[in-house]
Amino acid sequence: MTEGVARADESEEDRGRREVRAYLGTYTSWAGGGTGLGLGAYDPRTGGLRVTGVVPDVPNPSFVIDAGRWVYAVNEKADGEVTALAVGPDGVPKVVGSRSTGGADPCHLVLHRGFLLSANYSSGSVAVHPVLPEGGLGERTDLVVHTGAGPDPDRQEGPHAHQVLADPTGEFVLAVDLGADAVFSYRLSGEGRLTSAATARVHAGAGPRHLAFHPSGRYAYIANELDSTIVVASYDRGVLTPGPKVSTLPAGAPTAPRNYPAEIVVSADGRFAYLSNRGHDSVAVFAVERGGAVLRLVEATPVGGKFPRHIALDASGRFLLAANQNSDTITTFEVDRSTGKLRLTSTSAAPIPVCVALTR
Tell me how far CA of residue 136 lies from CA of 18, 46, 95, in angstroms. Answer: 29, 34, 10
Give whole-number Cα distances, 284 to 23, 70, 140, 276, 297, in Å: 24, 32, 38, 6, 7
At 15, the pLDDT band (50, 70, 90 cuts) reads low
| Res. 7: pLDDT tops 90 | no
Amino acid 12: pLDDT = 57
Which range (13-17, 152-156, 170-174) has the least confidence? 13-17
- pLDDT the model gives residue 14: 55
Q: What does the alpha-carbon distance between residue 29 and residue 188 come to, in Å, rounded to a whole number?
A: 33
111-358 fold: Methylamine Dehydrogenase; Chain H (2.130.10)
Enumerate residues 6+ apart whose C-beta is below 8 A from 313. 265, 267, 268, 274, 319, 320, 335
Amino acid type, 175: A
Q: What pLDDT was estimated at residue 360?
A: 82
Whether the per-residue pLDDT at 134 is higher than 90: the answer is: yes
What pLDDT band is residue 33 in, cutting at 50, 70 and 90? Answer: very high
Instruction: Point out which residues pair with 127 in neighbouring strands.
Output: 118, 143
* Mean pLDDT in residue range 330-348: 98
Question: How far is residue 346's CA from residue 193's CA, in Å, rounded to a whole number?
Answer: 44
State the DSSP string of 201-254. Answer: E--TT--EEEEEE-TTSSEEEEEETTTTEEEEEEEETTEEEEEEEEESS-TT--
Higher pLDDT, 343 or 9: 343
pLDDT band at 194 (very low <50, low <70, confident <90, very high): very high
Q: Residues for the chain: how many in total? A: 360
In degrees rounded to 5, what are phi and psi of residue 15?
-60, -40
CB atoms within 10 A of CB 201: 14
For residue 295, pLDDT beyond 60: yes
The whole-number average pLDDT for the span 26-35 is: 98
Cis before 61? omega within 30 = no
pLDDT of 17 strictly over 70: no
Q: How far apart are CA 26 and CA 30, in angstroms?
A: 9
Average pLDDT rounded to a whole number, residues 347-358: 98
Band (280; pLDDT cuts 50, 70, 90): very high
pLDDT of amino acid 3: 46
Residue 55 sits at φ, ψ, to 5 deg, of: -100, 110
What pLDDT was estimated at residue 18? 87
Instruction: Please tell me what DSSP assigns to residue 137.
Output: B
Burial-class residue 68 by CB neighbours within 10 Å (0-12, 13-18, 19+).
exposed
Mean pLDDT within 88-109: 97
**CB atoms closer than 10 angstroms to residue 317:** 14
Q: Mean pLDDT throughout 234-245?
A: 98
Phi, psi dihedral angles at 133 (to 5 degrees):
-55, -35
Rounded CA separation 157/146 (Å):
13
Strand partners, 208: 224
**What is the distance between the terminal CA atoms of the chain, rounded to a whole angstrom?**
26
- Which residues, other chains included, contact 225 with Cβ-Cβ below 8 Å and sequence gap of 6+? 162, 178, 207, 208, 209, 260, 261, 262
Q: At residue 236, does pLDDT exceed 70?
A: yes
Domain ranges of the chain: 111-358
Q: What is the mean pLDDT of the chain?
A: 95
pLDDT for position 81: 98
Which are the contacts of 99, defined by CB distance < 8 A and separation ≥ 6?
81, 82, 84, 129, 137, 138, 139, 140
The residue-averaged pLDDT of 232-242 equals: 98
Kindly report, residue by residue over 41-63, the tens digit of the pLDDT. 999 999 999 999 999 999 999 99
